[in-house]
Amino acid sequence: LTGVWAYGETPDWFVVLVNIIGFYLISGTFGYAAKLLDRLRTTSQDLTQTNEELAAAHQDLEALYALTASLHSAVDVEAVQEMVLTAVTTDFGCERAVIGLVDPQENVITGWLGRVQNGPAGGTKLLTHQAKLPLTPSGGLAAESVLAGRICQATEEHCTPDNWLNTHFGMSGCLIVPLRWGLQPVGVMMVDLAEGDGEETRRRSLEVIAQQTAVTLGMMMTRQRRARETAVQEERARIAMDIHDSVSQSLFGIVFTLDGAIKMLPEKPEAALPALQQALQTAEAVRREIRRTIHDIWPEEMTAEAFAADLRHYATDVLQANNLRIRFDIRGDFGALSARARRSLYRISQEALTNIVYYAAASQASVCVDVANGRAILSIRDNGRGFEPEVALAQEHGREHFGLRGMQERTRSLGGTCDIFSQPGAGTSIIIDIPANMTLE
């Protein structure tokens, strides 16, 4: 325009307008294209980063799924610790990880198991330690994390006050994740993330691992505690049955003999002497039986002959069944019976003979053991007065009655059956069927 006006010419305003608009359009187009390219570049970088995060998250999810599936096959607490530590150090890139377990009885954290990476070759080693950290603030950051139920990030200080743990596991400035099953603390996991692996997603993955681990450990510890409690109750019941089957019956015989001796003393003191000697022998047998019960001593090498002889001695000397003829018949491979099976058959036979002597008024009885095809069948019969089994079992109630019901409970605990056949005036037959070989001694 300046040039045109300088020569005194009138400009073509349409051409001028077109040139101006073209100039701005061209410059604007190129400027927008540059901005668009910059945005596309930024978006591409964001998508690449998001894709990498998604790939890492997918990998973490696959590792979490594999870990969860493997935890269901763990056989004990230590196996759970090893599985979790392997996953944390291998699949989630942690250089080292440690798991400690809460002992509610002592209120401490103990049973430490750690996994440490060694060098660029990826070699690892497991370390164990039985340090006991008090589950109080004096137990350091690990105990505080468990008590508070929250994740703690240590800075440069040690995670525990135990020098051995700090030295061998190198746990300083680590991430501390409590293991809690509901409101119940079950342990603590401490991990040392490798450089560049401290993202929020990785931390969330570790939280999920801690939750799965806490559930598995909590359920396993609960089952173990209940199993121990059940075993204690069963052992108490077994001891009570043993005492009833042997000691209490023998004491009854001693009382009966002494009562008779006392009545004979004023007029026939010489006649009372044999009865007192018999009571002394019975008392000695009771002493041995009590010692055997306390220490649970039972010779595995007991033979069929010794089995029958001991029962005959029990009937004649302890129960004083002088007018009862007892026939013993041992068939099959008696040596194939486990110690527990022999002890159980012996106790059941004792109880059955006691019932025959004191309640059946029988003149004949038989005890037969037949071992064949992995089973042991005990048959005890008498020609006594008989009874109604349903009525007798219904009358046996309370903690102090371990007769017929005790036989059934003992047999049931062995995985066997106990059948009682009787009716008034027709005698009684008791059939016991149990496994011959039992591994739980």
Q: Beta partners for 123?
A: 118
- Options 3.20.20.70, 3.30.470.20, 3.40.50.1860, 3.30.450.40; CATH for 75-226 is 3.30.450.40
Percentage of the chain with pLDDT > 70? 73
pLDDT per position as a tens digit, 293-302: 654 545 546 7
Distance CA 136, CA 414 (A): 45
| Rg, the chain, Cα only | 42
Q: How far is CA 182 from CA 177, 224, 410, 428, in A?
A: 15, 18, 38, 55
Distance CA 393, CA 407 (A): 11
Phi-psi region of 21 (alpha: psi -120 to 50; beta: other; left: phi over 0): alpha
Whether 393 and 407 have beta carbons less than 8 Å apart is answered as no
In this model, does residue 366 exceed pLDDT 90? yes
pLDDT per position as a tens digit, 19-66: 677 666 666 666 666 677 777 778 877 777 766 666 666 666 666 667
Look at residue 120 in the predicted model and tell me its pLDDT.
42
Residues 6+ away with beta carbon under 8 Å from 322 = 316
Q: How far is CA 316 from CA 52, 181, 183, 261, 325, in A?
A: 87, 59, 61, 18, 10
Dihedral angle, C-alpha 131, 132, 136, 139, nearest 10 °? -10
Distance CA 369, CA 304 (A): 9
Q: Report which secondary-structure segment, H or E, holds 101.
A: strand 94-103
Distance CA 221, CA 180 (A): 12
pTM to 2 decimal places: 0.47
Parse the chain into domains and list their residue ranges: 2-67, 75-226, 301-441
Side chain identity, residue 149: G
Closest CA to 74 of 266, 213, 203, 194: 213
Residue 371, helix vs strand vs coil = strand
pLDDT per position as a tens digit, 82-117: 888 888 888 777 888 889 999 888 899 988 888 887
Closest CA to 376 of 338, 327, 403: 338
Whether 404 and 420 have beta carbons less than 8 Å apart is answered as yes
On whether the 301-441 domain is CATH 3.30.70.250, my answer is no
